[in-house]
Chains A and B, each alone.
Chain A
Amino acid sequence: MNGRQILVHSFINEQVQLPYMKDGMSEKNAGAFVTVILVCSAQLLTGFGVFDTIGKFAGAGVFVPITGFANSMVAPAIEYKKEGPVMGVGAKLFSLAGPVLVCGISAGTIIGVIYYFMK
């Protein structure tokens, strides 16, 4: 990551979390709150059509947090709305996130099995 990306990344991950922790929340709980806020705001920004512009500026800095995942769900939802709610949005909603989920869960399962036998 270059400087610009690190800046945005650390802003998102650290600065959003701090106010919650100041109010006495545990780091774990604050993390969960931050995740929810990041997902919601990325969805909103995608809907308003500005997330791709931010992505262009910040690169991986704005994608590595869970925001990239939210964007990859909402973008097809908007795009395929015209083909209808079932065969359009329904069929295409996971067209970007689906491959990531399948591969991620598969990798997790395989490594889990290996870990089980090695332990």
Chain B
Amino acid sequence: MKNKLGKQTLQFPLLPRIVGSYSIVGEKEGKGPMAQWFDTILDEDTYGEKTWEKAESKMLKQSMLQAIQKSGREKENIDAVLSGDLINQIMSSSFMARDLAIPFLGLYGACSTMTESMILGALMIDGQYASNILVGASSHYCTAERQFRLPLEHGNQRPPSAQWTATASGAMVLSSTDKGDAAVKQGKKQAQGKEMREVYISHATVGKIIDTGIKDANQMGAAMAPAAVDTIVRHLSDTGRGPDFYDMILTGDLGLIGKDIALDLLSGRGLDLTAVYNDCGAMMYDQKQDTHSGGSGCGCSASIFCGYVYDEMRLGKINNALLISTGALLSTISSQQGESIPGIAHAVAVTTKGVI
């Protein structure tokens, strides 16, 4: 298999490009330290809809449509849309795709959905089954709370390790062809008048489930950190790259506690990533926002990859990045039946250099 490296890593010789991205976040996320990087910040989390689920679906749909627009493509040019979220039967994604009239593949990887969709999208392009693929993911604090935890107005106490599901969504257009991206014309302040680089997906490492036996659903960071570390270590060994190859290694939503655990575990494996490693969950909120251990949810990594990382790469401030969305594949039933939490992490290597 010429395009498989080692045990779990895939390389994409055709280098699928990311030609447009869009991120939308809720009110609370818009007050956090990452605010300047998001395309749209909602005034209120209902987004003018009657239910939270409709609001999340609308966020995702808007991200998708805006990403297409920014890529300079038409809806008709998109071969497939790959998307997922946290709600039962991936409701937000299915209802988002209902009106798009684009072939749809719904994905569930819990909070790892963003990189899962990027990997599958890149595979479809690299296998020459598609020219343009729309990928994305979303999460909403209020839909996640009512499904996984307690009603919003219930005055329960959140433990210090609890994480705050981000109200956020992100979408990207992956493409096999031309430069495309209309961000210079259409979009962001930072982009104006500067040379923009192309962003390619060069490698992906599909993670395997790691379950270390943690049963507490308020310890997501601890449950997912071993999976993230396993994927990072596997990626580096499969590609033969050292940690200094990357300008940035970013995990999805381990949160503040999970980030520390991941760094500890990495140093146990002889890897010191302190200089380049960060976590989207730890970056999303300010400590003063009282989210305890930081952010979580599919939208947490999706919005930061589609906003901050993509923009910085377009500007050439980051040239090689390893993005790892992390997921806790528990369900409300599995927790009640006393099962432990299966963790998963998928990595995508993105680069501004047009060679592998």
Q: Do A and B belong to a common assembly?
A: yes
A contacts, CB < 8 Å to B: 46-47, 49, 51-56, 59, 62-63, 68, 71-72, 74-76, 78-80, 82, 96
Q: Roughly how many angstroms separate A63 CA and B154 CA in the complex, as a whole number?
A: 11
A-B pairs with beta carbons under 8 A, tally: 48
CB atoms of B154 and A72 under 8 A apart: yes
Q: Are B156 and A55 in contact (CB under 8 A)?
A: yes
Residues of B in contact, count (CB < 8 Å): 11
Q: Which residues of A contact B146 (CB under 8 A)?
A: 79
Give residues 129-146 of B contacting A (CB, 8 Å): 146
Contact: B51 with A82, CB < 8 Å? yes
CB-based contact A79/B50 at 8 Å: no
Whether the Cβ atoms of A51 and B153 lie closer than 8 Å is yes
B153: chain A residues at CB < 8 Å are: 46-47, 49, 51-52, 71, 74-75, 78-79
CB of A93, distance to nearest CB on chain B (Å): 11
What are 8 A-B residue pairs whose CB atoms fall within 8 Å in the complex? A46-B153, A51-B153, A55-B155, A62-B155, A68-B155, A72-B154, A74-B153, A75-B152
List the A side residues contacting B152 at CB < 8 Å.
52, 75, 78-79
What 1/0 flags go to B40-62 for Cβ under 8 Å of A?
00000000001100000000000
Closest to A47 in B: B153
Residues of B within 8 A of A71 (CB): 153-155
Contact of A55 among B50, B151, B157 (CB under 8 A): B157
In the complex, what residue of chain B is closest to A95 when comparing beta carbons? B151
Chain B residue nearest to A62 in the complex (CB): B155
Known: A46-B155, A74-B153, A75-B152. 14 other contacts (CB 8 A): A49-B153, A52-B153, A52-B154, A52-B155, A53-B155, A54-B155, A59-B157, A75-B150, A75-B151, A75-B155, A78-B153, A79-B152, A80-B151, A96-B154
